[in-house]
Amino acid sequence: MNVMEIFKSMEYGPAPEAAAPGLTWIQEHAPFGLFINNQWVKPDSGQYMESINPATGRPLAQIASANSADVDAAVAAARAAFETWSRTLGHVRARYMYAIARHIQKHSRLLAVLESLDNGKPIRETRDIDIPLVARHFYYHAGWAQLMASELPGYEPVGVVGQIIPWNFPLLMLAWKIAPALAMGNTVVLKPARYTSLTALKFAEILQEIGLPPGVVNIVTGEASQVGEALVRHPDVNKIAFTGSTDVGRSIRRATAGSGKKLSLELGGKSPFIVFDDADLDSVVEGVVDAIWFNQGQVCCAGSRLLVQENIAGRLIEKLRVRMEHLRIGDPLDKAVDIGAIVSPGQLKEIQRLVNQGVEEGAVMWQPSWACPTEGYFFPPTLFTNVSPATTIAQVEIFGPVLVSMTFRTPNEAVELANNTRYGLAASVWSENINLALDVAPKLKAGSVWINCPNLFDASSGFGGYRESGFGREGGKEGLYEYVRPKWESSTPATADDFHIVQDSTLPDSSRSSVHEKEVGETSHEEDVEPGSTNGFRPVFPSIDRTPKMFIGGKQVRPDSGYSRDVYDPGGHVVGQVGEGNRKDIRNAVEASHAASGWAVGTTHNRAQILFYIAENLAAREEEFARCIVQQTGRSYSDAVSEVEASISRLFSYAAWTDKFEGVVHRPPLRGAVLAMPEPIGVTAIACPEAYPLLGFISLVAPAIAMGNTVVVIPSQTSPLSATDFYQVLETSDLPGGVVNIVTGDRDTLSQVLADHDDVDAMWYFGPAEGCKRVELASSGNMKRTWVNYGHPRNWSDPVQGEGEEFLHESTQVKNIWIPYGE
C-alpha cells in the first residue's frame, strides 16, 4: 500500500505491543505452582493444565492443577493468618493495600500484556481499562481499611473467604474480590478461572514483593470440579464470593445452604440498552460499540438487548451497520484492534450455536463483510433485527459480540420490555431529555443504570444484580457489608432454635428476672396486677368468642383450608385459635403483595407518617397487647409492657429512618455523578422468631415496609395472637391494603411454600438451623435473597441486635445511576 492509497482509505497500520516481556516472564516462571502461605508449592496431584493463547490457539504456560488437599492447605494457611490479620490495625492494612496498588501500577504494562495474551482481549482495553481499575480498587479500599474502625464500628471481619472468579476480567475480578476482603480484615483463598490464571499468579508475585504477611492471600489454580467445589464445601470457609454463570451460582447457593457461610453472587445478565427518539444517535452508536463489542461481548453487564424507539430504529440500525463495517478484529496485542479473541473454543462454539438458533427462530442476522482471522478463536460482531422478545436470543445470555434489537413505542413499553428478563444486572438509557431518563432509571430492575453512557465501573460505586443476576454488591461502601458481620454475633453462642428468650440486658431489673426465672405455666407475679381488675372483682360473663383471621390484601380473611389451630399458654391451656394457612393463602398473600407495589414508589414522607401512626395506634392499645403477650407466653405483665413499649419505640426508629436512609452520591473519576439509591427488594417473606411475639414481628416488618417492601409474614407459630391483633392496628393506620399480609399456621410448611415461590423476591427466616437450610436451598429457584439466623438467637429487646442499619441493608438493594454531564 502506498501513501496515496493509505491517504484515501485511511486504513490503520498495525501498532503491535511487544509480547516479549510477557512471554519471557512466563518462561521464567513456568510451570506455575500454587501460591499458599506466600510460597510457591507444587500441586498435591502433580498435575498441570495448559493455558492457551486464544488469539493463536497455542499453549502459553503450564499451570498447577490443584485438588482438595491443596485447598485444605490454603484454607489452613488463611485461617492461621486470620488470627493476626483480623487484629492488625486498619492503618497497617491500609499501608499494605497502598503498596499493592502502587506495585500494580509499577507492573501495569506487563500485567496488561499478560492479560491480553491469556484472555484474548485487546491491549487497548487491558492497558486503559482493566489494569487502571485494578489499581484504583486497591487505592480505594486502602482508604476503607484506614477508616473501618470509625466508619463500621459495630462490625468485624467474616473470617476466611473463598473467592471464585471468571475469565472475562481475570485481574479486575480478582481486585473486586480481594481488595474489600483485605480491607475489612479477612483472609482469602482465591480460585482463578481455568482459562485465565496468569495475571493472578503475577499478582501473587506482587504480594511477595510488598511483603504481605503469609497466608493472607492464597491463590489456588485448577479445575472447578476439584478446586471450586472443594472451596465451596470447605467447613472452615466463612464466606463464598462468586462471579460467573447463573447456573453455577445456583449450585453454589444449594451447596452452601444451611452452612452459615455468607454468600455473594454476581451472575449473568441480559442488559437492555434503551434508545429514545431524541437521543444523540452518533453517541448512541459509540455507546453500542462499548456496550456489546467491548471485551468481545463477554461482559456480564453487556448491553446485549438494544431497545430502540420505533420511529428512529431504521436510522440507528443503518448507522450501526456502517460502524460495524469499520470495526477491526484481530491480534489482541495490536493497539488498533477493537475486537480480540473469544476466550476458548468451547465459548466460541456456544456463541455460534446461539446465533444459529436465532436464525432458526426467524430473526434476521447481519455481520460485516470482512472475514475474521482464521487462526485463533474469533467471532464477528453480529446484529439481529426482527427479534421477538420471547425468543432464545432475546432471553439467554450469549456472552459474545452479539446484539439483538427490538423496538418500542412509548416509555412504558420500553420499561416493560427492558424488565422482561429473569436477570437484573445493568441497563443504559439514552435520551437528551434528562427528565425522561431520570424517570425511567428507577423503574428499571437493574443494579446499575447508565444514563447516556455504557459499561462504566469504579471502585466507589457498587456493582451487582437484582433477581437472577445475583445478590450482594462489589465496590462502594455497600460492598463492604459483604465482608463483615455484626460484632455481637460472635459473642452469642448458637442454639438449635430460638424458642427461648435470650438473656435480656436492657429490660428493667424487675422485668428481667421475671422473663428468665418464670416457670412454664406461671402467668403473673404478685406485683403484676392486671389493669381492669378492681379490688379483685371480675364480672362473671363468659368472654365473647374472638376469631383472629389472616390478613391479606388489607382484608381479614378466613383460611382456605377451613381448619384452625389452637394457641396454648405455657400451661397447655387453649387461649385462642388461628387459621391454618396453606399454599393457597400464601399464593393470595403474594399476589396481594405484588398488587401493593405502589408502596415502593410513594414518598418516604408518606411512609414515615404511616409508621408513626401505626406506633400511635399501638400505644393506644398498649395494655391490651401486653395482656395478650402475658396470656400466650406466661411472662409477667411488666415484662410484656416492656415488649410493647420496645415495639412502639422500634416503629418510631423505622419511621425516623424511612426518610433518612437515603443513599449517597459517589464521585468516581469522571465528569458526572453516580447516585447510589437504596431500593426496596420487592415482595419480602418473613418467618418471625418464636420469642417476643410482638417485638419479633415488628422488628422485622417495620424496617421492611419502611424501605418500601411489601411483606408476607408468618408470625410466631406458638404465639401468633399478637400479630393477628396487630392487623387491627394496621387497619386504623392508613396502611394501604397488601403492604402487610399475615398468614398464620405451621411456620416451616408455610416458609417452604414462600421460599419456593418464584414471585417472592426475598425471604427472611428466624428459626431453627434446619429450617434456615431448607429456606436457603429452596431460594435457589429464582435466586431470591435470603436472610436467616442459622438457629442463632437474637435478643430482640436489645437495640444493638434487634434494630438498626443491618435491618435496613437487608431491606434494600442499591441501584447505582451513572449521570455524566457536560456537552
Contact positions toward ligand NDP, by CB under 6 A? 164-168, 191, 193-194, 223-224, 228-229, 232, 243-245, 248, 251-252, 267-268, 300, 347, 350, 397, 399
Strand, helix or coil at 804? coil
Residue with smaller CB distance to ligand NDP, 423 or 599: 423
Cell of 571: 400451661
Min dist. Cβ of residue 60 to ligand NDP (A): 16
d(CA 727, CA 740): 9
- What is the 3 state secondary structure string of 264-283? EEECCCCCEEEECCCCCHHH
Min dist. Cβ of residue 226 to ligand NDP (A): 8
Min dist. Cβ of residue 222 to ligand NDP (A): 7
Min dist. Cβ of residue 756 to ligand NDP (A): 22
3-state helix, strand, coil split of the chain in percent (to 5) is: 45, 20, 40
Strand, helix or coil at 400? coil
d(CA 735, CA 606): 10
Residue with smaller CB distance to ligand NDP, 189 or 484: 189
For 27, 140, 547, 677, 732, the CA distances from 235, given in Å and listed in that order, are 37, 31, 48, 36, 50
Min dist. Cβ of residue 381 to ligand NDP (A): 17
How far does Cα 800 stand from its chain's mean position?
Answer: 24
Catalytic residue among 125, 156, 229, 266: 266
Number of H helices, E strands in the chain: 31, 31
Residue with smaller CB distance to ligand NDP, 229 or 585: 229
108-114 — which CB contacts under 8 Å span 24+ positions?
A: 108/132, 108/135, 109/21, 110/21, 110/22, 110/25, 110/202, 111/171, 111/199, 111/202, 111/203, 112/17, 113/17, 113/18, 113/19, 113/21, 113/22, 113/333, 114/22, 114/25, 114/26, 114/198, 114/199, 114/202
- 427 forms beta bridges with 449
Residue with smaller CB distance to ligand NDP, 254 or 555: 254
For 175, 515, 519, 528, 572, the CA distances from 522, given in Å and listed in that order, are 58, 11, 6, 12, 11
Min dist. Cβ of residue 30 to ligand NDP (A): 19
Q: Name the DSSP class of 708.
A: T
Q: Are 115 and 121 in contact (CB under 8 A)?
A: yes
Residue with smaller CB distance to ligand NDP, 227 or 515: 227
Buried b (16+ CB within 10 A) or exposed e, 392-404: ebbebbbbbbbbb
Amino acid identity for residue 349 in this structure: K
d(CA 66, CA 77): 15
| Residue 545: exposure state from Cβ atoms within 10 A (0-12, 13-18, ≥19) | exposed
d(CA 773, CA 480): 25
Cell of 444: 428499571
Residue nearest to ligand NDP (CB): 228
d(CA 398, CA 124): 23
Min dist. Cβ of residue 779 to ligand NDP (A): 18
Residue with smaller CB distance to ligand NDP, 224 or 670: 224
Min dist. Cβ of residue 745 to ligand NDP (A): 36
Residue with smaller CB distance to ligand NDP, 300 or 341: 300
Compute how many other C-beta atoms are within 10 angstroms of the C-beta atom of residue 590.
Answer: 23
Residue with smaller CB distance to ligand NDP, 342 or 586: 342
Min dist. Cβ of residue 425 to ligand NDP (A): 8
Buried b (16+ CB within 10 A) or exposed e, 687-721: bbbbbbbbbbbbbbbbbbbbbbbbbbbbbbbbbbb
Residue with smaller CB distance to ligand NDP, 249 or 287: 249
Please say if 300 is a catalytic residue: yes
d(CA 377, CA 56): 8
Min dist. Cβ of residue 562 to ligand NDP (A): 45
Residue with smaller CB distance to ligand NDP, 43 or 703: 43
Min dist. Cβ of residue 445 to ligand NDP (A): 17
Min dist. Cβ of residue 258 to ligand NDP (A): 17
Residue with smaller CB distance to ligand NDP, 248 or 263: 248
Catalytic residue among 115, 300, 679, 810: 300
Compute how many other C-beta atoms are within 10 angstroms of the C-beta atom of residue 83.
Answer: 10
What are the start-end ranges of the H helices in 187-280? 198-210, 229-233, 246-256
Cell of 9: 482509505
| Residue 173: exposure state from Cβ atoms within 10 A (0-12, 13-18, ≥19) | buried
Q: Are 734 and 569 in contact (CB under 8 A)?
A: no
CA distance from start to end of the chain: 39
**Side-chain half-sphere CA neighbours of 814 within 13 A:** 29
Min dist. Cβ of residue 31 to ligand NDP (A): 17
d(CA 772, CA 599): 28
d(CA 608, CA 599): 12
**Beta-strand pair 710-714/785-788:** unpaired
* Catalytic center residues: 266, 300
